[in-house]
């Protein structure tokens, strides 16, 4: 079965849409600010947001879903990175997030991605937020927060490489604690041509610890005229609604809140049966998209969380290899719960 056929057959029983609808009803001629208004977006997540994950999120109500972050150097030197870029036929479009530190590679990557995806490229996003040392030690990710001039060159390079494609950036409050640079940095990115700025309310040195400060979203929104996308600690639909209501954000980006919860975007409260059905659908989507099925081990822990004997079912999934084995575990959970 194709991913589209899987979703049509197994999505509705899980409380998901049977197909992915285009971003903002496919109205590509509308300004990005209008298309983002009130939107809940699925964030780029390394090792998580593959095609199957994106399809699940979009079927759950995400207005748009991002690729995993893609190395510009990887696109330049090899073919494997292109697997992260290509949308599945079930996806009308995707947002592609690039990372690196060399403007010339960003220009080349933007040009090649735009040519390859055509109308299915909703926007290009530049990662200036990743706090992981193996990224920052190369001057990439959140390290760019310390070099706004270089970051601005990168934005301009992407715009030159992909004329007409919105170029956005994702940033953090700053790289180091108590050294907030986000408002001033965002202003420089807007001047370079960024069409929107996503702001994660933590410093890079915090990684994902502590609480995200949503106040910085307001400070950035006051500093720029482009849309600001709220990010950080959006772990539920209610939190997403609060972020839209209480900050100057135009849209909200959800990351960890999507774990085992594609309904986070719609606010639907799934039953135990729908959670099991969603896991089954997700496993089938992994198979349909050619993804490594070991990813379903993490998915089992996320979808079965909070269920009776959740640890038992999670451990059972850890020894699974094939789709049939994962589906057999799901059948056991359903039988045990009478779902």
| Residues recognised as catalytic | 130
Q: What is the Cα–Cα distance from 47 to 295, expressed in whole angstroms?
A: 9
Answer whether 105's CB lies under 8 Å from 76's CB: yes
- 169 pairs with which residues across the strands? 126, 197
Reported as type and span, the H/E element at residue 136 is: helix 133-136
Query: How is 269-281 classified by DSSP, letter by letter?
Result: ---HHHHHHHHHH
> In terms of Cα–Cα distance, which of 256, 254, 260, 257 is closest to 306?
260
> In terms of Cα–Cα distance, which of 99, 89, 49 is closest to 253?
49
Alpha carbon distances (Å) from 243 to 35, 88, 123, 169: 18, 31, 23, 19
Q: Six-digit token pair at 155?
A: 């934005």
**Alpha carbons within 13 A on the beta-carbon side of 211:** 3
Q: Six-digit token pair at 21?
A: 């609808």
Reported as type and span, the H/E element at residue 156 is: helix 148-161
Provide the 10 A C-beta neighbour count for residue 149.
9
Q: How many residues does the chain have?
A: 339
N- to C-terminal Cα separation, the chain: 25
Query: How is 43-78 classified by DSSP, letter by letter?
Result: PP-TTT--HHHHHHHHHTT-SEEBPPPEEHHHHHH-
- 174 pairs with which residues across the strands? 203
């Amino acid at each position: 079965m194709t991913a589209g056929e899987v979703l049509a057959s197994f999505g509705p029983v899980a409380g998901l849409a049977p197909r992915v609808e285009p971003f903002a009803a496919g109205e590509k001629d509308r300004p990005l600010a209008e298309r983002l208004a009130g939107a809940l977006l699925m964030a780029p997540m390394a090792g998580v947001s593959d095609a199957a994950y994106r399809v699940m999120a979009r079927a759950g109500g995400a207005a748009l879903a991002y690729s995993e972050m893609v190395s510009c150097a990887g696109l330049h030197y090899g073919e494997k990175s292109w697997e992260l870029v290509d949308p599945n036929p079930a996806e009308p479009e995707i947002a592609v997030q690039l990372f690196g530190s060399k403007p010339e590679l960003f220009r080349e990557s933007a040009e090649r991605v735009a040519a390859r995806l055509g109308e299915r490229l909703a926007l290009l996003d530049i990662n200036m937020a990743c706090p992981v040392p193996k990224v920052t030690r190369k001057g990439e990710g959140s390290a760019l927060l310390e070099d706004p001039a270089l970051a601005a060159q990168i934005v301009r390079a992407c715009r030159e490489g992909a004329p007409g494609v919105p170029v956005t950036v994702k940033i953090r409050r700053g790289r180091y604690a108590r050294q907030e640079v986000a408002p001033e940095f965002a202003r420089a990115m807007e001047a370079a041509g960024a069409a929107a700025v996503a702001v994660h309310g933590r410093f890079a040195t915090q990684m994902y610890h502590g609480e995200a400060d949503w106040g910085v979203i307001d400070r950035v929104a006051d500093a720029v005229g482009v849309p600001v996308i709220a990010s950080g600690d959006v772990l539920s639909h209610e939190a997403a609604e609060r972020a839209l209501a209480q900050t100057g954000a135009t849209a909200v980006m959800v990351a960890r809140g999507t774990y085992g919860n594609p309904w986070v975007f719609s606010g639907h409260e799934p039953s135990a049966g729908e959670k099991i059905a969603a896991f089954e659908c997700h496993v089938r989507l992994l198979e349909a998209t050619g993804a490594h099925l070991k990813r379903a081990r993490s998915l089992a822990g996320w979808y079965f969380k909070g269920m009776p004997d959740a640890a038992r079912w999670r451990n059972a999934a850890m020894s699974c290899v094939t789709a049939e084995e994962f589906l057999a575990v799901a059948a056991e959970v359903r039988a045990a719960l009478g779902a």
